[in-house]
Structure 1
Amino acid sequence: MRAAISERPAAADEDGRTPTVVRLLVLATFVVILNETIMINAIPRLMESMHVTEQSAQWVSTAFMLTMAAVIPVTGWFLQRITTRRAYAVAMSTFLAGTVISAVAPTFAVLLAGRIVQAAGTAVMMPLLMTTLMAVVPAEHLGKVMGHVTLAMSTAPALGPTVSGVILQAGSWRLLFVVVLPIAALVTVFGLRKLEDIGEPQVSSIDWVSVGVAALGFGGLVYGLSLIGESDRRSLGLGIAAAGVVAIGLFALRQLRLQRSGTPLMDLRTLRYGAFTRSLAVMSVGFLAMMGSMILLPLYLQNVRDLSPLQTGLLVMPGGLAMGLLGPTVGKAFDRFGSRRLVVPGSAAIALGLLGYTQISTTMPYWQILALHVLLMVGLAATFTPVFTLGMGALPSHLYSHGSSILGTLQQVAAAFGTALVVTVMSSRATSLVADGTAPIPAQVSGMKLAFGVAAVLAAATIVLAATLPRRVENPPEDEPADEPTPGTKQAAATAPDDRVPA
């Protein structure tokens, strides 16, 4: 899509309205991303129905996240080669196929295969949405439109457990896919009827060595992190994660070499833009905090407070809804006031919400749990929209697809790291206390307190980083270092500037 995003088309809504193409992609992305976390509450039912252990059942979520991390790095190249409608058709048809396979799966292995196919389609939708949005929306309205994107990219995972809790009250875990299937099919048909191509594709070659190394690196890192949370496989997880980091390093070196010929799989020149890099850091900690709370809260509410999956989902639903409903409002505020008045208080709210959860107990009032969750979600809403907008807006247009690919990949790694971090801290603390004679429930509560505390410290560190972000998005100049040409762009200064979005 390089040709598609070399300039903003005249069809863009200059009056600030969200373009139809973006509305359609937001709706489709919401539907597919919802499935990343929709199976969290279904683990007990799945264990009973498929006769698998808890560790095996967890793979329905782990495999989804693992596939996303392995596939997203390829999307930057993929989106440059085909039209918007074709990319949409490929993503949604793949997702639909995976949903059908999962719904009728006779064995756990088939269900796992269906989840992998689902994730492959989802992995294309996220960068497609971000790349298209940057192409058709004027810079002065990016914040408002990006607020709707927050609904899809952030609120959908937050609402997944709630939606699944409600559906599971009606019956089998298969209903989670049966309910999603007609909705996704309608969205697909409607989208193909209304969607218009944005620009023309550009044929380019692909380095298959990079594809393999990226899959091993990012996939291995996510898989290793998922194992670290299991005490009996922690050493194996650390080893696989370390191997993944080494593979990512080799992948980065190869991309730097390929940039000289203009054919990198993932263009790392995006990281030379300071606003983009700092936005990635803030976004990563935000997703770490969100996924950490999504793992710990259900464990606390169901294992310690004996709530049902439905009751758990209903308790955290107001926070997820608040996050989604605030997205457009935060976007408008960003267009008017800039980033710092939103991101700094938002980062502080995230840290305060996590800090509040360090006081959980077996008798903590439910209204306090609800209030802290709403505070956390409001802080994330105030942070994500400006950070996404600033990060992508800092890049020249020919790097949009690569920037969205990096953003999506790092989102999955941050989610996996957040899950591994909080589970490891919680289980290590609880195991130590039980060994010293503490009862299991108080020991688990103490472990959760410590895990929330660690997440709060990380969130607090982002407040300072958030204060360094530029206030607004400005169109960066279309240039690249002379020693590393990019096809279709002009060579300019020999040294890339550190930050393309002035404060």
Structure 2
Amino acid sequence: MANESTIPASGDSPAGASGEQETPVYQNPVERNVLMGVLLAGAFVMILNQTLLNTALPAFMADFGITASDAQWVTTLFMLVNGIMIPVTAFLIQKFSTRAMFLTAMGLFITGTIVAAVAPVYLVLLLGRVLQAAAGGMIMPLLQTILFAIFPRDRRGSAMGMFGLIIGFAPAIGPSLSGWIVDHFPWQTLFLMMLPIAVIAMVIAFFLLKNVTENTDPKLDILSIILSSLGFGGLLFGFSSAGTAGWSSAEVVISLVVGVIALVLFVWRQLKLDQPMLELRVLRIPMFTLNTVLGMVMFIAMVGGMLILPLYMQNMADFTAMESGLALLPGAIIMGLMSPVTGRLFDRFGGKWLAAVGFILLTATSLLFARLSADTSFVYIAAVNAVRMVGAAMVMMPVTTAALNQLPQTLVPHGTAVNNTLRQVAGSVGTAVLVTVMTVTTRDPAEYGVEGMVHGANVAFLVSAFISAAGLIGAFFITNSHGEETGENRLEQIHPKN
């Protein structure tokens, strides 16, 4: 079948496997841009799906007769399965063609969406969410791998900027859109409205998408998959539960202990295998590791702050849930719109100064949020958060692109999986740590009133400012953002010759 063609011509090495210039598989810009639009449309519905159900939980409780804690599994289970699938995707991309992977991901998502929409009981709805989450976990590293293969180095920043637009915009409109839909239509509409976009993206990709990676047919290591699932799943669940259940609760302690032990064993096994499921040796490349860590730092500061603000507004400043959502909406939209701009700037100037300015904005706005009071205005909160999200946009896609640019094309699937997994863990850690800081430093409301509670939020943002400042220091060490020197020298760093 013509659509199954791969990058290497007969006898050629895969792109990036040597020191030669990598040649994108799509030379026609129109075909390449149309394909990117199709891929981003597929990613949009999956990323939108992460936050779309947050305001629909009361509707599920009423229809299925479940408790609030039961309903929360709609989002918790999605997060866990999504996080578990990301590391496995590196193996799948090398085992199967990128074309087959994308079509499978879209097929899983469509199936899960239909299952959830027609669910007669709550467990069937959860099954649909598991299928959707598995597809979502595959699509993030897969899409980044495809974009890096079809775009030349001098256009990767712009391509990743468009991807950042989807990442920023889709979650931003999710809660507001779902709130309006649930108020006017049955909750099943939340699933059914995504089907046409997903089906159209799948059909067009069937005709346009070629395989853009070399398939090495690695052996399936069941133990690696089990250890990865227990390790990353345990950490994600433990950290995400710690902020609300407390660090000493049994579910948090057991999850974290199991996660740490399984993760240590997973790392040890990957370093021993000739064909690891996840090539962790990419972390031997200093600039890949530095940019990945900077992305983690940004997520810790940003995700934690996105949770602290709604808690402050609803519990300490007498704003409604809708008002707290509206305060965050301009920032999220601006972050999405800024991503293509920062992508173009990255292509021209590299990542160092973009990341540095971004971390300056994150640090400054964190300090401004560390001065909240019980009567801080809505305009102040929305404006400062908007500037904060500009800073996040200047860091997120540039450091991700700079990290992946360090890798030859054959290692991009592993790099995207490592990068996305660590960033997701960092988001959970940031949420847990900052919520804990806020809780511990809250002063007794009986003595200090509402301002005692606000004090805890201020200290949490102060910690966020210190975290962002650490990222600022690290940004000045970024070099070689466009990764001009990849190939055998990078492979030598990962697999040193005796």
Q: Provide closer, same or farther for how the CA distance between residues 47 and 442 of structure 1 changes in structure 2, counting only shifts above 3 A.
A: farther
Shift of 1:307: 4.5
Shift of 1:233: 6.8
Q: Provide closer, same or farther for how the CA distance between residues 315 and 332 of structure 1 changes in structure 2, counting only shifts above 3 A.
A: same
Q: How far apart are the structure 2 equivalents of 1:65 and 1:397?
A: 28
Matches within 5 A, 1:295-314: 295-314=307-326
The answer as to whether partners of 1:225 and 1:238 remain within 8 angstroms in 2 is no
> Are 1:433 and 2:447 matched, yes or no?
no
Q: Provide closer, same or farther for how the CA distance between residues 134 and 55 of structure 1 changes in structure 2, counting only shifts above 3 A.
A: same
Residue in structure 1 matched with residue 11 of structure 2 by the alignment: none
Q: How far apart are the structure 2 equivalents of 1:59 and 1:443?
A: 32
> Are 1:108 and 2:119 matched, yes or no?
no
Equivalent of 2:98 in 84, 96, 101 = 84
Q: Provide closer, same or farther for how the CA distance between residues 419 and 160 of structure 1 changes in structure 2, counting only shifts above 3 A.
A: farther
Amino acid at match of 2:203: V
The answer as to whether partners of 2:335 and 2:393 remain within 8 angstroms in 1 is yes
Q: Provide closer, same or farther for how the CA distance between residues 197 and 137 of structure 1 changes in structure 2, counting only shifts above 3 A.
A: same
Residue in structure 2 matched with residue 497 of structure 1 by the alignment: none
Q: How far apart are the structure 2 equivalents of 1:304 and 1:168?
A: 27
Shift of 1:134: 1.4
Q: How far apart are the structure 2 equivalents of 1:52 and 1:229?
A: 23
Shift of 1:138: 1.1
Matches within 5 A, 1:377-388: 377-388=389-400
Equivalent of 1:477 in 478, 482, 487 = 487
Equivalent of 2:134 in 104, 117, 120 = 120
Q: Provide closer, same or farther for how the CA distance between residues 233 and 140 of structure 1 changes in structure 2, counting only shifts above 3 A.
A: closer
Q: How far apart are the structure 2 equivalents of 1:48 and 1:455?
A: 38
Matches within 5 A, 1:306-385: 306-385=318-397
- Count of matched residue positions in the alignment of Structure 1 and Structure 2: 482
Residue in structure 1 matched with residue 76 of structure 2 by the alignment: 62
Amino acid at match of 2:280: L
> Are 1:32 and 2:46 matched, yes or no?
yes
Residue in structure 2 matched with residue 212 of structure 1 by the alignment: 226
Amino acid at match of 1:347: F
Q: How far apart are the structure 1 equivalents of 2:63 and 2:457?
A: 30
Residue in structure 2 matched with residue 254 of structure 1 by the alignment: 269
> Are 1:130 and 2:140 matched, yes or no?
no
Q: How far apart are the structure 1 equivalents of 2:394 and 2:257?
A: 34
Amino acid at match of 2:297: V
Q: Provide closer, same or farther for how the CA distance between residues 158 and 46 of structure 1 changes in structure 2, counting only shifts above 3 A.
A: same
Equivalent of 1:186 in 155, 175, 200 = 200
The answer as to whether partners of 2:239 and 2:432 remain within 8 angstroms in 1 is yes
Q: Provide closer, same or farther for how the CA distance between residues 145 and 454 of structure 1 changes in structure 2, counting only shifts above 3 A.
A: same
Shift of 1:147: 0.8
Residue in structure 1 matched with residue 236 of structure 2 by the alignment: 222
The two structures have a TM-score, normalised by structure 1, of: 0.88
The answer as to whether partners of 1:22 and 1:129 remain within 8 angstroms in 2 is no
Q: How far apart are the structure 1 equivalents of 2:371 and 2:178?
A: 28
Residue in structure 1 matched with residue 411 of structure 2 by the alignment: 399
Could you tell me which runs of 5 or more consecutive residues in structure 2 were left unpaired when the two chains were aligned: 9-13, 16-21
Q: Compare 143-152 and 287-296 and name the one that shifted more.
A: 287-296
Q: How far apart are the structure 1 equivalents of 2:30 and 2:281?
A: 30
Shift of 1:28: 1.3
Q: How far apart are the structure 1 equivalents of 2:187 and 2:290?
A: 40
Residue in structure 2 matched with residue 20 of structure 1 by the alignment: 34
Q: Compare 230-239 and 148-157 and name the one that shifted more.
A: 230-239
> Are 1:264 and 2:276 matched, yes or no?
yes
Q: How far apart are the structure 2 equivalents of 1:305 and 1:47?
A: 28
1:415-444 CA deviation, whole Å, 9 max, x = no partner? 2212222332333344x624x6454x5444
Q: Provide closer, same or farther for how the CA distance between residues 386 and 411 of structure 1 changes in structure 2, counting only shifts above 3 A.
A: same
Q: How far apart are the structure 2 equivalents of 1:483 and 1:153?
A: 32
Q: Provide closer, same or farther for how the CA distance between residues 252 and 64 of structure 1 changes in structure 2, counting only shifts above 3 A.
A: same
Residue in structure 1 matched with residue 257 of structure 2 by the alignment: 242
Amino acid at match of 2:93: L
Q: Provide closer, same or farther for how the CA distance between residues 426 and 60 of structure 1 changes in structure 2, counting only shifts above 3 A.
A: farther
Q: How far apart are the structure 1 equivalents of 2:200 and 2:24?
A: 29
Structure 2 counterpart SS, 1:359: coil
Q: How far apart are the structure 2 equivalents of 1:53 and 1:449?
A: 33
1:205-231 CA deviation, whole Å, 9 max, x = no partner? 111110100000000111111221124
The answer as to whether partners of 1:24 and 1:195 remain within 8 angstroms in 2 is no
The answer as to whether partners of 2:214 and 2:410 remain within 8 angstroms in 1 is no
Structure 2 counterpart SS, 1:408: helix
Equivalent of 1:72 in 59, 82, 86 = 86
The answer as to whether partners of 2:235 and 2:425 remain within 8 angstroms in 1 is yes
Amino acid at match of 1:150: G
Q: Provide closer, same or farther for how the CA distance between residues 76 and 475 of structure 1 changes in structure 2, counting only shifts above 3 A.
A: same
Shift of 1:143: 1.3
Q: How far apart are the structure 2 equivalents of 1:475 and 1:349?
A: 31
Percent identical across equivalent pairs?
35
Shift of 1:18: 5.7
Residue in structure 1 matched with residue 434 of structure 2 by the alignment: 422
Q: Provide closer, same or farther for how the CA distance between residues 484 and 193 of structure 1 changes in structure 2, counting only shifts above 3 A.
A: closer
Q: How far apart are the structure 2 equivalents of 1:351 and 1:133?
A: 31
Structure 1 counterpart SS, 2:417: helix
Q: How far apart are the structure 2 equivalents of 1:64 and 1:101?
A: 15
Shift of 1:53: 3.7
Residue in structure 2 matched with residue 500 of structure 1 by the alignment: none
Shift of 1:235: 3.0
Q: Provide closer, same or farther for how the CA distance between residues 348 and 229 of structure 1 changes in structure 2, counting only shifts above 3 A.
A: same
The answer as to whether partners of 1:165 and 1:309 remain within 8 angstroms in 2 is no
Structure 2 counterpart SS, 1:229: helix
The two structures have a TM-score, normalised by structure 2, of: 0.88
CA RMSD of aligned residues (A): 2.8
Amino acid at match of 1:461: A
Q: Provide closer, same or farther for how the CA distance between residues 294 and 459 of structure 1 changes in structure 2, counting only shifts above 3 A.
A: same
Amino acid at match of 2:454: V
Structure 2 counterpart SS, 1:124: helix
